[in-house]
């Protein structure tokens, strides 16, 4: 991956797409290709002064834990924040995806201050997230808050992966870019605490600690998520399983957080149950728009629901939640993944734009996560470089143009939009929207 031309590529794209903020160009490149950490920039583990990477659902790394060595034992930070430097970056929060071979390296300079280096040249100042007070407390049973209720997006979002595995299992069902099941296995193999099904009482206890110690009030939303449930977990189907956490949270902390759930596109009655349990925002992720790629890369979703039905249910769920509060995700970049993906950026963008238009013309604003080609997944193995940076930059341009064409604004529950303001860390779609937008802080 190390290439002396990466700087030239980045600057060429900044020049060709001046309407995309330079912050978003750097952020997308870091998200798709990862960053390396010098020992001087590692977090010091779970007891240090820096908030460590929690591995909140997928690994989001370019190497397995055994391959990462010191970076795995002496954890990298959850996120970094970039400012200043040769591109004059406004404050930019980036989720950490570790790749020891990346041309981007985080390390301390001669003055001791951390910087981001590209091809050996310092391009930005790096800030690390401080260890939040609530991470210094444990539950009565000794579990850490970070294991039960990690926070991301600079503390904005409590990420509750309450079911650490997916019942789409094996090569014929797992999404071809997803390492949730592998990530669970590797954390168990490393002897780390990594609870498969989180007891609701533990979740409530961890939230209590966060609520008590989040004195800055950074924590605004929670996401209930995990693998798909095709049968039952603990005697509950998917709607009741994820929903019963929401019910307990809303009863204990009414209105304290914006409640979101990531789940399959379920029939309307099940969606209604989510709503009745107190969920405000529903994420029935459609993953990739193109029909053939959905069938090939999301075989479990195709088998259990099917693409057309998935899309129909997304639109049906707007009658329950309201269109603004249905926010399906897609994984930006997998449409260019070999062996079946588009081979030209034009084709990939046209396909994704068709999907954006389909949803946005119905008032639904999708959002996306930048694909990280994790090494244990079929698509990660076949495409260790991920998708071209140009694709990601043009997607940001297309996303914003389509949003504006339909008179829509950024989705609720993602914090502020605009360069220098956004906190959403796993794609730069929020960084590339207008900073003049009002903040859609809560469900609407």
Q: In the complex with ligand SF4, which residue's Cβ is closer, 291 or 303? A: 303
Which among 3-11, 95-103, 173-181, 247-255 is the span making contact with ligand SF4, rule CB under 6 A? 173-181
CB of 171 to ligand SF4, least distance (A): 11
Write out the binding residues for ligand SF4, residues 178-237 only, by CB under 6 A: 178, 180, 227-228
Using rule CB under 6 A, residue 293 touches ligand SF4: no
Using rule CB under 6 A, residue 174 touches ligand SF4: yes
Question: CA dihedral defined by 154, 157, 158, 163, rounded to 10 degrees?
Answer: -120
* Mask for 147-166, x = binds ligand SF4 (CB under 6 A): -------------------x
**Which of 236, 242, 241, 238 lies closest to 259, judged by CA?**
242
**Which of 181, 163, 161 lies closest to 171, judged by CA?**
181
By the 10 Å C-beta count (0-12 exposed, 13-18 middle, 19+ buried), 52 is classed as buried
Question: CA dihedral defined by 243, 248, 251, 257, rounded to 10 degrees?
Answer: -70
Instruction: Out of 168, 184, 257, 424, name the contact with ligand SF4 by CB under 6 A.
Output: 168
Within 8 A by CB and 6+ apart from 7, the residues are: 118, 119, 121
CB of 63 to ligand SF4, least distance (A): 19
Extract the tokens encoding 389. Answer: 């940076």
3-state class (DSSP) for residue 194: coil
Strand partners, 121: 118
- Element (DSSP H or E) covering residue 399: helix 389-405
Which among 143-151, 167-175, 321-329, 397-405 is the span making contact with ligand SF4, rule CB under 6 A? 167-175
Angstrom distance (rounded) from CA 247 to CA 238: 14
Q: In the complex with ligand SF4, which residue's Cβ is closer, 129 or 227? A: 227
Q: In the complex with ligand SF4, which residue's Cβ is closer, 171 or 216? A: 171
Strand partners, 37: 106
Within 8 A by CB and 6+ apart from 414, the residues are: 367, 422, 423, 424, 430, 440
Which among 75-83, 111-119, 171-179, 233-241 is the span making contact with ligand SF4, rule CB under 6 A? 171-179
Using rule CB under 6 A, residue 284 touches ligand SF4: no
Write out the binding residues for ligand SF4, residues 113-142 only, by CB under 6 A: none
CB of 374 to ligand SF4, least distance (A): 11
- Applying CB under 6 A, the site for ligand SF4 has a residue count of 9
- Give yes or no for a contact between 23 and 428, defined as CB atoms under 8 angstroms apart: yes
CB of 314 to ligand SF4, least distance (A): 15
CB of 229 to ligand SF4, least distance (A): 10
Write out the binding residues for ligand SF4, residues 32-71 only, by CB under 6 A: none
Using rule CB under 6 A, residue 175 touches ligand SF4: yes
CB of 212 to ligand SF4, least distance (A): 31
Residues that bind ligand SF4 (CB under 6 A): 166, 168, 174-175, 178, 180, 227-228, 300
């Amino acid at each position: 991956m190390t290439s002396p031309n990466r700087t030239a590529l980045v600057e060429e794209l900044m020049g060709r797409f001046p309407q995309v903020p330079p912050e978003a160009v750097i952020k997308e490149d870091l998200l798709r290709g990862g960053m390396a950490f010098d020992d001087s920039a590692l977090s010091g583990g779970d007891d240090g002064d820096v908030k460590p990477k929690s591995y909140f659902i997928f690994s989001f790394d370019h190497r397995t834990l055994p391959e990462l060595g010191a970076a795995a034992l002496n954890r990298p930070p959850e996120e970094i924040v970039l400012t200043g430097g040769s591109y004059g970056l406004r404050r930019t929060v980036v989720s950490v995806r570790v790749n020891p071979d990346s041309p981007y390296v985080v390390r301390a300079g001669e003055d001791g201050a951390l910087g981001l280096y590209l091809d050996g040249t310092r391009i930005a100042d790096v800030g690390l997230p401080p260890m939040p007070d609530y991470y210094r407390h444990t539950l009565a049973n000794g579990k850490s808050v970070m294991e039960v209720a990690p926070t991301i997006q600079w503390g904005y979002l409590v990420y509750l992966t309450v079911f650490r595995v997916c019942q789409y299992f094996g090569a014929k069902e797992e999404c071809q870019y997803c390492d949730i099941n592998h990530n669970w296995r590797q954390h168990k193999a490393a002897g780390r605490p990594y609870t498969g099904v989180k007891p609701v009482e533990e979740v409530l206890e961890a939230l209590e600690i966060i609520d008590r110690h989040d004195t800055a009030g950074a924590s605004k939303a929670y996401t209930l998520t995990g693998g798909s449930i095709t049968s039952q977990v603990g005697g509950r189907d998917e709607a009741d399983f994820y929903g019963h956490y929401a019910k307990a949270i809303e009863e204990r902390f009414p209105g304290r957080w914006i409640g979101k759930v990531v789940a399959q596109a379920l029939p309307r009655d099940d969606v209604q149950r989510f709503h009745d349990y107190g969920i405000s925002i529903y994420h029935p992720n459609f993953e990739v728009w193109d029909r053939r790629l959905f069938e090939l890369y999301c075989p479990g979703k195709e088998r259990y629901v099917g693409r057309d039905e998935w899309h129909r249910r997304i639109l049906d769920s707007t009658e329950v939640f309201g269109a603004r509060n249905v926010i399906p995700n897609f994984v930006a970049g997998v449409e260019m993944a070999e062996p079946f993906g588009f081979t030209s950026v034009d084709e990939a963008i046209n396909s994704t734009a068709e999907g954006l238009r389909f949803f946005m013309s119905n008032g639904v604003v999708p959002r996306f996560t930048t694909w990280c080609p994790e090494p244990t997944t079929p698509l990660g193995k076949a495409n260790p470089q991920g998708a071209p940076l140009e694709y990601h930059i043009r997607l940001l341009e297309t996303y914003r143009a389509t949003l504006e064409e339909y008179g829509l604004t950024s989705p609720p529950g993602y914090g502020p939009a605009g360069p220098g303001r956004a906190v959403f860390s796993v794609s730069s779609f929020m960084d590339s929207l207008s900073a003049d937008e009002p903040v859609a802080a809560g469900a609407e």
